[in-house]
Structure 1
């Protein structure tokens, strides 16, 4: 086979592989109204809680700078970071940087917030048991708290 043709075919296959790896697993979902967050956030409910499974599972996609308000989950919440870089912070503790592949355990009743960094968006899968109640929303995360160094 002609060496140039071989190189072109290999580059084309590499491009297809890269394109396939960049395709999101789940759709972007609906843009959430800015009621309990700052910035652009898209939500996709993958599985609502029902009589068999007492927890709901959703995907959240945050633009850079987007963040949720302070809140609590009566039954706790698990976040699985699937893309990007973000923050997680519990009230009274140091803000944590979270990255793709990390799992965050939001303990029941603990006030916290999470969102994207100002430079990078973040995507996560969230699951929460709902039998103890839904999210309790609190005040906005101030720009001072959001921007302060860890």
Structure 2
């Protein structure tokens, strides 16, 4: 057993992967052989990810606020505090805050054998993000 009492500092989400202001807090990144990664992700109103995929899928659990999520070819879905979203391995998607509310979610992924947790694509088109 290992208890982590000191966490890394919050860090801004990189502009190449996010639109708007996003902060990331690393919750868990255990040593090998574990490949689990967990973050608390804080989105300001309207902030969201670029399109991306995860090699082993992703679980999102909304802890506060209201957000949006969309898989490629599907409708934009509203998500709220208490909702949990399972995104299948390789499923192209984006997620983030609703236009006028903050949103925080826990993001849980399993890294691939090479350590990759996500494959990033282009930003969501401005006219495709609901106003």
Q: TM-score range by the shorter chain?
A: 0.7 to 0.9
Is the Cα contact below 8 Å between 1:83 and 1:124 reproduced in 2? yes
Secondary structure at the aligned position of 1:147 is classed as coil
2:4 matched residue in structure 1? none
Which structure dedicates a bigger proportion of its chain to strand? Answer: 2
Unaligned residue ranges in structure 2 (runs of 5+): 1-6
User: Contact 1:28/1:44 (CA < 8 Å) preserved in 2?
Assistant: yes
Q: 1:47 aligns with which of 28, 49, 60?
A: 28
* Richer in helix (by share): 1
Relative contact order higher in (CA < 8 Å, ≥ 6 apart):
2
Structure 1 segments unaligned to the other structure (5+ residues): 1-25
Give the greater-gyration-radius structure (CA).
Answer: 1
Q: Structure 2 length normalisation: TM-score?
A: 0.87
Q: Secondary structure at the match of 2:127?
A: helix
Kept in 2: contact 1:49–1:129 (CA 8 A): no
Which is further off, 69-78 or 126-135? 126-135
Partner SS state of residue 129, structure 2: helix
RMSD of the TM alignment (CA)?
A: 1.9
